[in-house]
Chains A and B, each alone.
Chain A
Amino acid sequence: MKSAVLVFPGSNCDRDLAVAVEQVTGRAPAMVWHRTSELPDGTDFIAIPGGFSYGDYLRSGAMAARSPIMGAVAEAAGRGVPVLGVCNGFQVLTEAGLLPGALMRNAGLHFVCRPVGLKVENSQSIFTSAYQSGEEISVPVAHHDGNYQADAETLDRLEGEGRIAFRYTGEVNGSARSIAGILNAQGNVLGMMPHPERALEPAHGNTDGRRLFEGLLEAVS
């Protein structure tokens, strides 16, 4: 698998994501600076990391979503290349219009940083095929703006089309319908607030995030 990890000014989970991708796929991803407008030839997986791109200026993910590399990401996503956005990466994907809805300030106003329970709602996607539907896993979150909101019609559509990948099992940030991660209509773009790359090896305390990358590797290769 030929992966690319995007890097924006203020990204801080890019290395974690790169380590996770390399551990699971055996190949180090290309680290792609946001100012470039092209992805390396043959990129078959794009990961958008967590962090505080552009210092969260204007809105979380707003500036990054308009940076030159995102044109290439939208084009690749349109061709069916898998795109994973974690945390700030999820915010970037909604701001770029590649996923519906918006991520707002946590309802409790606090930065939430702890492992949370997630229910795998859809195990049919390329990202979740190594999980069982309905399975509960634990993955850490660390965010201030993770409160997923969309209009009722959009939420109904996400539910109806099986595009809610993960739901929180308890209250975390006020997200509509406890949404933790969603897929685009084609199923090749996943945005999620929890950090699967931080639950990868036993030293992390839990390896529930690992299967996301393993399932993806199997789906892509």
Chain B
Amino acid sequence: MKARVFVTLKPGVLDPQGKAIHHALEGLGFAGVQDVRAGKLIELELAEGTSDDEIAEMCRKLLANTVIENFKIERLAAA
């Protein structure tokens, strides 16, 4: 069983990395970019039956720093 965890900066938290990417896109001539926020995607290979609560606990304890980051869990259907 697979799950994906998306870790993103909370709204309002300054994202210097996103800003740099934004500038680089503009430098390449992409004019329509309004804003860029960078985050992380973490893929987990999990034992069958791992609950949403357990995954959320992994996020709170390690994968995300909830002072500055939000997380979203997405389960992937078995192939």
Interface residues of A (CB under 8 A from B): 58-59, 62, 66, 94-95, 100-102, 104-109, 147, 149-150, 174
- The residues of B that contact A150 with a CB separation of less than 8 Å are 67
Q: Does B63 lie within 8 Å of A58, measured CB to CB?
A: yes
Which chain A residue has the least Cβ–Cβ distance from B13? A149
Chain B residue nearest to A65 (CB atoms) is B62
Sample (8) of A-B pairs whose CB atoms are under 8 Å apart: A58-B63, A62-B62, A62-B65, A102-B67, A105-B16, A107-B16, A109-B17, A149-B14
Residue in B20, B61, B63, B68 whose CB lies within 8 Å of A104: B68
Q: Do the beta carbons of A66 and B62 come within 8 Å of each other?
A: yes
A101 to B67 CA separation, bound complex (whole angstroms): 6
Query: Could you say which residues of chain A place their CB within 8 Å of the CB of B62?
Result: 58, 62, 66
User: Is the CB–CB distance between A106 and B67 below 8 Å?
Assistant: no
Interface size, B (range): 10 to 19
A174–B65 CB distance below 8 A: no
Contact between chains at A106 and B16 (CB < 8 Å): yes
- Complex: how many Å from CA A101 to CA B13? 12
Q: Is the interface of B mostly helix, strand, loop or mixed?
A: helix
Residues of chain B whose beta carbon lies under 8 Å from any beta carbon of chain A: 13-14, 16-17, 20, 61-63, 65, 67-68
Whole-angstrom distance from the CB of B57 to the nearest CB of chain A?
Answer: 13
**Alpha-carbon separation in the docked complex, A66 to B63 (Å):** 11
Which residues of the other chain, A, contact B65 by a CB distance below 8 angstroms?
59, 62, 95, 102
Question: Which of A59, A66, A101, A107 interacts with B14 by CB under 8 Å?
Answer: A107
For B20, B61, B62, the residue with the greatest tally of chain A CB atoms inside 10 Å of its CB is B62
17 further interface pairs, Cβ-Cβ under 8 Å (given A95-B65, A101-B67, A147-B16)? A58-B62, A59-B65, A66-B62, A94-B67, A100-B67, A102-B67, A102-B68, A104-B13, A104-B16, A104-B68, A106-B16, A107-B16, A108-B16, A109-B17, A147-B14, A150-B67, A174-B16
**Bound form: Cα–Cα A150–B13 in Å:** 9
- Across the interface, B16 reaches (CB within 8 A) one of A58, A94, A109, namely A109
Q: Which of B17, B63, B68 has the most CB of A within 10 A?
A: B68
Assembled-state Cα–Cα distance A105/B67 (Å): 15
B13 / chain A contacts, CB cutoff of 8 Å:
104, 149
- Closest chain-A Cβ to B14's Cβ sits at a distance in Å of 7
